[in-house]
A and B are shown apart, each in its own frame.
Chain A
């Protein structure tokens, strides 16, 4: 009996929510992740692709995928004329054939067909194409031996349609169910076992139509939704079409794949690489397709086309159902979401179904603890729903101890659990993770101040993203805090509103302190975002080094300095009067900074526009040791030792007050950081000097600078003229670059870049020679200056020397003298007037026994100083030195030629006799004398008290003593006097 029942199969379409945002994103790690498995395309794939181009499966046929899939797996085949016949009824023989193929027994069937043909020579059985499949179907118990006999009957007309097995007759749906279950059971009885507890079939209204013993089989296929029926009817006795059968086979899904020994995966095509390898006569073109699979791992498909020596080509290809047509593996594109079936035994790729181009999309949720990183899983919670996704392998490390979010690797314990993260998903695989910032409490903008207008009250900054932001402020409604460069950074850290505190806060500031270039954070007024309510700022400075070339003072407005930077560039900078200047850790006056000083500057630098910057100096530190001339040497160039970086001079002298002195056969000098070489005024290289000037008869002048108590060469100037010394005199004229004139010399003197100009012990530029500088000049040749050595003109006029008798002492602050005498030339001029001198801890107090503590300079107790007579060195009313020494009325002058062991040897001695008030030569034959230094001796040079080792040979000194040396020499033939007050006069 034949019942026609119309069956409609439902096709489920899964749709992804369209509200998710779509971003363009490729798989970042696809190439760097390890390849999980390589699958080669199918050697017969090329033929299968050809077979699957059915002319009667329209491009949007509902069963197209099922047909293509089963075709690719070689379970179904089309008719020889290139059609599939989707609407054709399925006959029993076709159904059984498919079952046999599905359980992988096609080869057995072909063998059986041959066996049958051989056993029946000449029989028409050869025309029964399904004979082998029928045999196998019987072998595995799908049909009985009687049914097999019917099936193999050549002439089917002889059979009874009611009782016999007509192979060409339509198969019923319930029959299919039974065969399916039994066929699969052949492979593994557990895959699709008959279910003897009947549930689902009772949902069908036509359950009574089901043949009773088929119940468990139909229960099995309906429970698994392999066959479903329509309108609550299973229609067990209905027939089905070839398209429907294909769909049923497809619905078996993993059961089918397990039965066939295949595996099915899903994934996203991440990257396609083409590689061509050329050998002798053979060419292999390979396309590697990297796929991110459902487990986050990377699988690789290989398509290849090999052309061998004789031109034969071999193609490995796999059918791909892409869009509406079956094509080659080469048709896959990056970013496509696919389902693919492989044969894991041979690692062959059998079929690829492109499910549609999947766009990556973002979802956001709170990160859950990373408890399942070992399985490459990450969970987020959104509105209480926890969703778990698989991670791309590149997002976690192989030891599963770290996870990568944005560009940061987090250890598992450090991951921002509970924070909002945005996952970029493609095919439910996490491609990247971004951490969403936390809850925003304030509106703040941060950046670097670009301009500030205090008249119209707005501030413009360049924010961290490089955008220009302008905000207004009202002075009354703005609090400003600023971190100045001199405050320690840890002063930042408490917020005033949170911890109100009214003690001194060095960060409290006003808008006026905000400078262009500062780093600022501005909090916006919540009700009007164009206004700022609070600013926190910090000075942003850079460090620069240079050598001062010129200093121009502008009084209270500060000064401008010309600085020569390390790279040779020079620039003027204004130094505000309030800029602190430091030297050796002390704050000093601007005037301390001299041309030639090396300085380190803190500079506030701001970029106004690309190409325009402003700079303001915030602090200057003068290097106390930098560029301090120690000596000037003259000699012949010996060698330049490059390994030890030394220069040696032969027959050398050093420059002293009296000219060249201190002869040595050879000296060795270390190079400084930078040494420059000049020859006759032009700069030359070291190699030139080495090759052409060493061991010649030229004069070599070397300036050395102080380097931590040692000296190093700074400038080497070589000249070929004859050397002559001109004694100290005043400069009368300088044009600033090549000519100077000296008071003591009529002719002009030329200077050049090789001229060594020393001013205040610093090596300086020619431009710093000015009238009326007091200079010693070394000429080389008739009128070229080799050295211009400028020193302060000796004078002790700024300080006064008194003697006074102490009347009262205000401990540690001041003392009063009853009367006093002031030293004028050699005479002490008496004045009966009381006078008060201030003192402090810097005042040096010396009595006969040496230094006296300020605390002991008191007017009471047994050490009372009242009535004691002291010599007072005073600058105005301030006493810098208070020395108890005798009333020295006698005098001696002379030029120092040796200083040693607390004695000064002088020559050309003149003696002052207080009695006559006249100066006289000590001797006309041998006029030298010895000055003894005592604990209470005092030496004064250039208005300052100096120590004995600051005296130089050649210094002209005046000594105040108690003895008339001339008389002493006559009487006792001794020529030493005690020096109490020693004044350096020249």
Chain B
């Protein structure tokens, strides 16, 4: 029995690490194409290893401009990135291999394989990690057959440079990759085509969504018998998110009224704009977009039971959702809807909501377990959450007590809220004046985060323009706040990535 539990926990940690940390994306490749990308993990994956392993082959689409006109190719991309153990060592190398095979409707073909040796190092800040990666191309082959003409990459004259930075904040891991490459192709019509591409790949990953967007500029030059030049601006975008909807049970005599279904959605889009003069492509064809619509997968979440007393309450949906997602874990009881939530419970719920890794604080010995707060000893049920949240810089604390059982105030909750998505820098200064009428009541340590929340449109005043920083929060209000955070993570946070 004990063995079983241990292996389960190890499995959980493994899955967790593969998905949430130490990845700079790359599921779309680096050539301006789009792929479906890997799905976000299902909730059940945390409990059971399906044994299916990680999927590495994805549906792929790319616009190819090498013939002088945009042609849509569809096929597959295989992405093999051997970075599973990246967090184990502060620096090291691993191999990345991208294999693409695709065809166009007209029967044109392409195949491409590129291999990188990527060196990485982890720069540890006090509370978060950065990962810096530099990739060196070690092998590259490409051939196209378009309209009877063969195009082959000349490896000796081509080079590829790529480097990325990943910023791992408490709940969200953001990255930015810079790409610059130059590819030279010989053609069967004795032309020489030079394609140079420069641009950035931005993205983030968190438990509710992941996004990758590329902003690439490609310059093509053909010399030889057919001389032409073309510049293309390419913006591939990929998003995966988890959403949920209520699935009411149709039969009347059934033991539960309904459940939440979690939907795992994915989509990828690509827009391109050709700036050309010499080659007349009709203006209407100079820009376009393609869309990869991927079927959603669905997963049932547990029945939020024991909540009959909340039926019809303002916060019924929020509370049911959080119980369904197992983010609220307190035994439901009538009266909780107007009880204040404690600091400990709020932090625990956020840890669960943002999948904050608590594995460092599991399976410890009482004697050697570290302790940050006087009132959160090893035996405390909140121990691992508050310790992990503290490590993640979610909660601050030097001081005797965490005040784990004290009700949390709105400003404390907002600060944690903004820190979990790592966007406190948008508050600009450490001590700004906020636009709220009751600004004077906001504690100095909460100002930056509250301002960032205002700038992001997350924190809004009430009808009188007050933010009520020192008011306590009921459990149902906390449910609404956390639910709002999850919704923000599912959707709005990605908005600026699609422009």
The answer to whether A644 and B433 have CB atoms under 8 Å apart is no
Which residues of the partner chain A approach B280 to less than 8 Å between Cβ atoms?
844, 850-851
B302 CB to closest chain A CB (Å) equals 18
> Please, what's the 1-or-0 string for A148-192, where 1 marks a CB less than 8 Å from any CB in chain B?
000000000000000000000000000000000000000000000
Q: A607-B432, A625-B271, A643-B296 are in contact. Are A709 and B457 (CB under 8 A)?
A: no
Q: How far is the CB of B60 from chain A (nearest CB, A)?
A: 16
Nearest 9 CB-CB pairings of A with B: A31-B374, A610-B439, A708-B269, A851-B280, A710-B291, A708-B289, A611-B437, A709-B289, A708-B291
B353-397 contact mask (Cβ, 8 Å, vs A): 1 or 0: 000000000000000001111110000000000000000000010
Chain A residues touching B, range: 35 or more
Smallest CB gap from A447: residue in B: B429
Beta-carbon contacts under 8 Å, B178-223 to A: none
B252 CB-CB contact with A under 8 Å: no
Contacts of B273 in A (CB 8 A): 584-585
A621 to B498, CA, bound (A): 12
A407 and B127 alpha carbons, distance in the complex (Å): 11
New contact pairs (10) apart from A271-B400, A408-B126, A447-B429, CB-CB < 8 Å: A271-B374, A448-B429, A464-B430, A465-B444, A565-B457, A611-B436, A611-B437, A708-B290, A709-B269, A709-B290
A462 and B448 CA atoms in complex are apart in Å by 13
Cβ-defined contact, B431 with A464, below 8 A:
yes
Decide yes or no whether B293 CB sits under 8 A from chain A.
yes
Given contacts A31-B373, A585-B273, contact A462 B432 (CB under 8 A): yes
* Contact stretch, chosen from A201-209, A362-370, A541-549: A541-549
Residues in B neighbouring A600, C-beta threshold 8 A: 496, 499
Whether a CB of chain B sits under 8 angstroms from the CB of A268 is: no
Contacts of A613 in B (CB 8 A): 435
Interface check A9, CB cutoff 8 A: no
8 Å CB contacts to A: which residues of B250-275?
261, 263, 265, 269-271, 273
- Do the beta carbons of B435 and A611 come within 8 Å of each other? yes
The tally of residues in B whose CB lies under 8 Å from a CB in A reads 64
Q: Chain B residues near A465: list those with CB within 8 A.
A: 430-431, 444
Shortest Cβ gap from A339 to chain B (Å): 24
By DSSP majority rule, is chain B's interface helix, strand, loop, or mixed?
loop
Are the CB atoms of B400 and A28 closer together than 8 Å?
A: yes
Question: For B295, what are the chain A residues with a Cβ–Cβ distance below 8 Å?
Answer: 644
B373 to nearest A CB, angstroms? 6
Q: Is B48 in the interface zone, CB < 8 Å from A?
A: no
Q: Is B471 an interface residue (CB 8 A)?
A: no
Q: Is the CB–CB distance between B287 and A584 below 8 Å?
A: yes
A627 at the B interface (CB under 8 A): no
A407 near B437 with CB under 8 A, answer no
Chain B residues with Cβ below 8 Å from A828 are: none
Q: Which residue of B lies closest to A543 (CB)?
A: B496
- Chain B residue with Cβ nearest A409: B126
- Answer whether residue B141 sits at the interface, using C-beta atoms and an 8 A cutoff: no
Residue of A nearest to B372 (CB): A32
Q: Is A228 an interface residue (CB 8 A)?
A: no
Instruction: Answer yes or no: B51 CB below 8 A from chain A CBs.
Output: no
Determine how close the nearest CB of chain B comes to the CB of A674; give it in whole angstroms: 10
Q: Is the CB of B398 within 8 A of A610?
A: no
B269 to chain A, nearest CB (A): 4
Complex CA distance for A613 and B455, rounded to whole angstroms:
12
9 A-B pairs in the complex with CB atoms less than 8 angstroms apart: A31-B400, A409-B126, A464-B430, A466-B432, A610-B434, A611-B435, A621-B499, A643-B296, A709-B289
Q: How far is the CA of A448 from the CA of B396 in the complex (A)?
A: 26
B82 contacts chain A at the CB level, 8 A cutoff: no
The answer to whether B437 and A645 have CB atoms under 8 Å apart is: no
How near does chain B come to A896, taking the closest CB pair, in angstroms? 17
Task: Render B422-466 as a binary contact track against A, CB cut-off 8 A, 1 for contact.
Answer: 000010111111111111100010010000000111001000010
Residue of A nearest to B283 (CB): A947
Alpha-carbon distance between A605 and B452 when the two chains are bound, in angstroms: 12
- Indicate if A497 sits at the interface (CB-CB under 8 A): no
Give the interface centre of A605, A607, A645, A949 by most chain B CB atoms within 10 Å.
A607
Asked whether, in the complex, the Cβ of A645 is within 8 Å of the Cβ of B433, the reply is no
Contact of B447 among A26, A466, A609 (CB under 8 A): A466
Q: Given A32-B373, A611-B437, decide whether A854 and B277 contact each other with a Cβ distance below 8 A.
A: yes
Does the CB pair A643–B428 fall under 8 Å?
no
A30 touches B (CB below 8 Å): yes
Question: Contact: A643 with B298, CB < 8 Å?
Answer: yes
- Confirm or deny: B306 has a beta carbon within 8 angstroms of a beta carbon on chain A: no
Inter-chain contact A644/B296, CB cutoff 8 Å: yes
**Is A950 in the interface zone, CB < 8 Å from B?**
yes
Q: A408-B126, A643-B298, A947-B282 are in contact. Are A566 and B457 (CB under 8 A)?
A: yes
Question: With a CB–CB cut-off of 8 A, which chain A residues contact B496?
Answer: 543, 600
Contact call B455/A610, Cβ cutoff below 8 A: no
Residue of A31, A462, A542 contacting most chain B CB atoms (<10 Å): A31
Interchain CB contact under 8 A, B289 and A610: no
Instruction: Report Cα–Cα, A545/B280, bound state, in Å.
Output: 36
Q: Tell me whether A519 is interfacial, beta carbon within 8 Å.
A: yes
Is the Cβ of B374 less than 8 Å from the Cβ of A567?
A: no
A610 touches B277 (CB 8 A): no
Most-contacted residue by chain A among B289, B372, B440 (CB, 10 A): B289
- Residue of chain B at shortest CB distance from A30: B400
- List chain B residues, Cβ under 8 A from A30: 374, 400
How far, in Å, is B419 (CB) from chain A's closest CB? 14
Whole-angstrom distance between the Cβ of A622 and the nearest chain B Cβ? 10
- Other-chain contact of A544, B271, B373, B457 (Cβ < 8 Å): B457
In the complex, what residues of B have CB within 8 A of residue A271's CB? 374, 400
A545 to B: closest C-beta gap in Å: 6
B70 CB, nearest partner CB in chain A, Å: 12
Q: Which chain B residues border A566 with CB–CB below 8 Å?
A: 457, 492
The reply to whether B432 and A542 contact each other, CB–CB distance below 8 Å, is no
Are B432 and A709 interface neighbours, CB within 8 A? no
Is A707 interfacial (CB-CB < 8 Å)? Answer: yes
For chain A, residues 393 to 427, give those with C-beta under 8 angstroms from any C-beta of chain B: 394, 398, 404, 407-409
Which A residues between 548 and 605 are near B, CB-CB below 8 angstroms?
565-567, 584-585, 600, 605
A512-551 interface bits toward B, Cβ cutoff 8 Å, 1 = contact, 0 = none: 0000000100000000000000000000101111000000
Contact B290 A540 (CB under 8 A): no
Q: Which residues of B contact A466 (CB under 8 A)?
A: 431-433, 444, 447
Q: Inside 8 A of B288's CB, which chain A residues have their CB? A: 709
State in angstroms the CA–CA spacing of A398 and B372 once bound together: 13
Partner of A607, one of B126, B396, B435: B435
CB of B5, distance to nearest CB on chain A (Å): 27
Most buried by B among A30, A32, A585: A32
Give Cα distance in the complex from A946 to B284, angstroms. 8
Residues 432-455 of A, flagged 1 when their CB comes within 8 A of B and 0 if not, give 000000000000000110100000
- Which residue, B273, B287, B371, B429, has most C-beta atoms of chain A within 10 A? B429
B495 within 8 A of A: yes
Among B269, B293, B495, the residue within 8 A (CB) of A670 is B293
**Nearest residue, chain B, Cβ from A517:** B428
Determine how close the nearest CB of chain A comes to the CB of B68; give it in whole angstroms.
Answer: 12
Query: Roughly how many angstroms separate A271 CA and B373 CA in the complex, as a whole number?
Result: 13
**CB nearest to A394 among chain B residues:** B398
How many Å lie between the Cα of A29 and that of B371 in the bound state?
Answer: 10
Contact between chains at B291 and A707 (CB < 8 Å) = yes
Residue A747 at the chain B interface, CB threshold 8 Å: no
Taking CB atoms and an 8 Å cut-off, the chain A residues in 938-965 that contact chain B are: 946-947, 949-950
Interface residue? B156 (CB, 8 A): no
Minimum CB distance partner of B400 in chain A: A31
Set B285, B296, B436: member contacting A645, Cβ < 8 A: B296
The residues of A that contact B495 with a CB separation of less than 8 Å are 545
| B245, B291, B400: the one within 8 Å of A642 (CB) | B245
In whole angstroms, what is the CA distance A644 to B267 when docked?
Answer: 12
Is B399 in the interface zone, CB < 8 Å from A?
A: yes
Contacts of A585 in B (CB 8 A): 233, 273
How many Å from the CB of B214 to the closest CB on chain A?
A: 14
Q: What is the 8 Å Cβ interface bit string for chain B, positions 321-335, against chain A (1 contact, 0 not)?
A: 000000000000000
Q: Which of A408, A625, A643 contacts B261 (CB 8 A)?
A: A643
